[in-house]
Structure 1
Amino acid sequence: MNKLPNNHSARKGETTTNQYGSGQAVTKGNGENRVGHHLPLHLPVLSHKRQTGIAFLNFIQHFASVIKTIFSELPQLQKQLNNCQQDLKQAKNWHADLPVPLLDRCWLKLEVLKVAELLCRLPVDASAHAPELVRFQELRNQGHNPDLAERICWDEFTAEACHLALRRYWEAQETPKYLWNLDSYLNLLRCYRSNVEQGNLSMPLLILPRGSDRQLLQCHWL
């Protein structure tokens, strides 16, 4: 598969990501790129991650407060939500007709979907799960270097198929066409099913992004 173009070459201390998503630290020195040992650079990164985590937690708390306010001030939405929770209470086991409320914040409307209807109403981006890319990651996890893993994939799928899968993946990252991806969908199913089987009545509330936002679908557990 094609290597990264020159305009993606790393500056000093940057981490580059190869075409399959595996990162490698690269530094520039004496006009050459080489794998670098940059332990001191980890300190500000960790600090930034800590700050980002705190900001994210604050956002989640604020977001939960906003959602609670929306439902408390709009009786019709609260009534729909109560009906969903009542259906969940009556469920004796996990099944595909369990409710998944979908909130449109722009129009303040609540659409109640069934688990079985999720993929039809909200298609997912599955480009990262293309067999060619999954196989490459399996080979990397087995200890093969990127070049050997790439050659094996070419032998098994052909170079053309690998290039196509890779192009589709990057196009999905650069110009998203879907509101969520396959991993998010499967995670919702796992959590919801686990909750039901354990007697936990927590229910997912899916929230559509505003029209002008480039955000993904958000999931808030009630």
Structure 2
Amino acid sequence: MDQQTFQRAIVLLSGEHSLSILRSLRDANWHLSSEVARSLDIHITTASKFLQRFAELGLVERREHDSRTFEYRLRSPHLRFDVDLMDDTAPLREVIDFYVAYFHALFERIRHFGAPAIQTEMEHRLTTDHQELRKAVFEQMVDGTGGSLDYLRELVAEVHRDLWSVCAEGLGADTAKGVFQAALRDAMGVYPDLAIRCGLTRPLES
């Protein structure tokens, strides 16, 4: 586990209800957040928030229950943290690889969709309007000085919103959502553990 993920885990585990929510999953069965909330007599929003963040950190498993809800299951009744204190930059390089894979998949899907005008405008936005992201990626890859994971996520979120606006305007929101979600699935297929462990999908939520 990298240091940023460890810090997020410690903060989350120190929150009220966090341990009781984890203990409620000890039977190794799948549970809805509503079930957890009812068993602990807490608000469903509280249970859902904690469970989602636990899933992002890889502490619990998550699967779709239906189109609107998820089920959660504890990966193990024992929580162990193996923290790498030696390397601060390697995780960021891996994160960059994930986002490169995502944007590559996105442009490939736009290309196959047959929308050259949209593709051209998106490429223009990415290469011309977001120099800060390119600078951060370049510096991180060359000498490891590109800033923190949170900073990189903020830059990616800004780019993503810009590209989404172009695609949604040209294709319609529903079609654009399908294209973006498919690209995200492609990237997560290459880096599934990294995406969950570092919460990399959050900046890519439309």
More relative contact order, 1 or 2 (CA 8 Å, 6+ apart): 2
What TM-score, normalized by structure 2, do the two folds share? 0.24
Which has the larger share of helix?
Answer: 2
Which has the larger share of strand?
Answer: 1
What TM-score, normalized by structure 1, do the two folds share? 0.23
Decide which structure has the larger Cα Rg and report it: 1
